[in-house]
Chain A
Amino acid sequence: MKILVAVRQVPDAESRLEVSEGNLDLSRASLVLDGMDEYAVEEALLLREAGLEAELIAVAVGAAALEETLRAALAMGLDRARLLVGELADPLAVARAVAEVARDEQADLILTGSQQSDWDSQALGPAIAACLGWPQVSWCHALQLDGGVLRGRHDVEGGSAAFEVALPAVVTTQQGLNEPRYPTLPNIRRSRSKEVRSESIPVTLADGWQLVAQGSAAKARLGQRIAVSDPQEAAAELLSWLEQTAKVRL
């Protein structure tokens, strides 16, 4: 069987984000494998270590620089990787690309992080499932596979619920599911010679979508500080500052 792990790249939590002309500038940030997706990578490895015979494939969609992120997943132990290079605007388009790979590979299970740790989008996992017409379980924090049936627990509104779902399926992962391993030095070495199959895909948007503009609305820190100890006074000063300096309409 084949398990596909869809991974994303996010700025390192320690790296400083720069803003240029109202846009977030990531050109100097160090980009790493999304921590949320690390749980997905680890879970794929654990499923295999529990006795499953499976090929574990990392997949990523976006900039060519994602190769390093795929290599990080390979260094944790995945077998090979697929990289679809193309500047895609929305999670739906990314999901369609991942779904295409899933069909091509005849994957049985897709794992990915529940939520992007940069923009907080939770769409990718459910969208992949929708594209494939597969069931999906989100925010999973316990998982095992018996025969072709996944059993586990996941978060639902107001608590947690047990689930049971037959393959193929999409599962999104989160903290608590496992403890992602370190990529050891020998594995980092090995990962350099593992296959990363890179292909470019056309820039597509989901049906009915049209790209009007792309970017982020970001503002550099203004470095202001309200140096008043009385809370009332401080609040008043903050209000007037927001109104007058930051031009926020109150």
Chain B
Amino acid sequence: MSLKYVTPAERFKRYLPKDYVELVDFGPFGKTQEEAGPGNMGQFKELMEEHPMCSGCWMAYYIRLIFASLPCPEETVTLGTAGCGRLAISQAAVPFIYGNYGDQNAMASGLTRAFRLRFPDKQKDVITIAGDGGTMDIGFSMTMHSWIRGERFTTIMLDNEVYGNTGGQSSGMSPKGAVLKMAPMGKDFEKMPATELAKAAGCVYIVRMSPTNIKQAAKVIRRAIFVAREVGPTFIHAYTSCNIEYSIPTEDVFADAIELGRGRFKFDEYMTDEAKIVIERVEGEEKAARKARKASKAEAVN
């Protein structure tokens, strides 16, 4: 139904915006990851193309990666909030819901439950994508309680360790000592232990990472979505530097991400036994499907 929903009638196509038609014809809707996934970004019509974020912004890159990794974009709804990320997320070709600053996980709680109620036999993927301030400061209670209640959707925190959108104020996720606006003497308390909080609150799949390895980052995004479908809340804490507020020259953005990936964003993946079962099953199925496709392709050639 939902693939049908995005696909216009052939005869109607010429009346629709070109961008839309190209998305349906050459975008990732209904396609596999080999056809249209992070491995061949730039070779298909992506869900997120233009955005008004700063040039060289690592957060914008990661958002593009999120959209390229979605297991089922035609059944996905994203929720975001105030912050730099929403400037790009809102321009992806996936329904995007924006409420007030920090409310994304409360909105997603209502939305996910409503989807289950209206479409009990269907899987709708709900993902919140918000900054460190939106997730851990102003939205803290709503983030934590959505996890505590076991709401089945994915939370992605774009951690640039600062309030980027409002001009570089310190956040709970800024490292101790960082001299930022509203912390003119340097931040005097530790970076919040987001993944530990997630674990204590009952997230069943949690990853902290600096997404420099595309393949690994995509795998994590998909795992988080698969597990949220069946088991419970999942959380990705990703480093997405703010080159503007931390004065990282554009050409050094990647090196910085690598460095932090060795430091406070060292890859850490946690999953419950139940989550592990789902991951092994789904990835096994995907592998088998890939093999089958390869075999039928080989047969067609012969």
Chains A and B are bound partners: no
B-contacting residues of A (Cβ < 8 Å)?
none
A-contacting residues of B (Cβ < 8 Å)?
none
